A and B are shown apart, each in its own frame.
Chain A
Amino acid sequence: GAGVSQSPSNKVTEKGKDVELRCDPISGHTALYWYRQSLGQGLEFLIYFQGNSAPDKSGLPSDRFSAERTGGSVSTLTIQRTQQEDSAVYLCASTSGLGRLNQPQHFGDGTRLSIL
């Protein structure tokens, strides 16, 4: 597609369950980012991928959070043993790897995660 695609758009799950969130970046974009947007906290960086490797995982809040990227394209963010404080909108963005510091990041519409 033309833009960054995220699925599901909404996810409601019980506390303690595992969830997987998916991001399809813009075709050809080698850099991919995950952010979390929660009330009162604003937008927080989680992890950055260049190709399939993650040079910066510094924003992952705990070891219950992990992410992978395969084929330099699709990325999955996994949250294990979900807690209520994980409720937030999870946003994915991508940008061209060439001169990425000079390129705008393009965002998907996010996955709204609600933990009951």
Chain B
Amino acid sequence: KQEVTQIPAALSVPEGENLVLNCSFTDSAIYNLQWFRQDPGKGLTSLLLIQSSQREQTSGRLNASLDKSSGRSTLYIAASQPGDSATYLCAVTGANSKLTFGKGITLSVRP
């Protein structure tokens, strides 16, 4: 059974800092890995999707990497801003395109 782990559960950083959020998964037989953002009381917004054959994806200040063989992904956020404060979830796609989620990292960026 696929398990996705995100540690730590919460992170607080000062504005402007570059930061890395980690995600690990136990079964490397995945189709892709997605990073989502969730604001309080809202649904999930897809940030980046990395196909299993890819190593990384970039969007603006965000860069996500994937090492499928070791079961790891990182989300890099450059020059963090208070507006980046949210919960970031990692999810892997398995059979029937079913997503298995980590429990998320709650990020707080202090002005």
CB-CB under 8 A for A48 and B97, given A4-B43, A107-B44, A109-B42: yes
Chain A contact residues (Cβ within 8 angstroms of B): what range?
Answer: 20 to 34
Q: Are A95 and B45 in contact (CB under 8 A)?
A: no
Q: Are B99 and A105 in contact (CB under 8 A)?
A: yes
Q: Are A43 and B97 in contact (CB under 8 A)?
A: no
* Chain B: CB-nearest residue to A3: B43
Q: Are A91 and B98 in contact (CB under 8 A)?
A: no
Determine chain B's interface SS by DSSP, over half rule: strand
B45: chain A residues at CB < 8 Å are 107
Chain A residues packing against B (C-beta within 8 Å): 4, 6, 31, 33, 35, 42-45, 48, 55-56, 59, 91, 93, 95, 100-110, 112
Chain B residues packing against A (C-beta within 8 Å): 31-32, 34, 36, 41-46, 49, 51, 89, 91, 93, 95-104
- Could you give 30 example pairs across A and B, Cβ below 8 Å? A4-B43, A31-B97, A33-B98, A33-B99, A42-B102, A42-B103, A43-B101, A45-B98, A45-B99, A45-B100, A48-B97, A56-B95, A56-B96, A91-B43, A91-B44, A93-B44, A93-B99, A95-B97, A101-B93, A102-B32, A102-B51, A105-B34, A105-B46, A105-B97, A105-B99, A107-B45, A107-B46, A109-B42, A110-B43, A112-B41
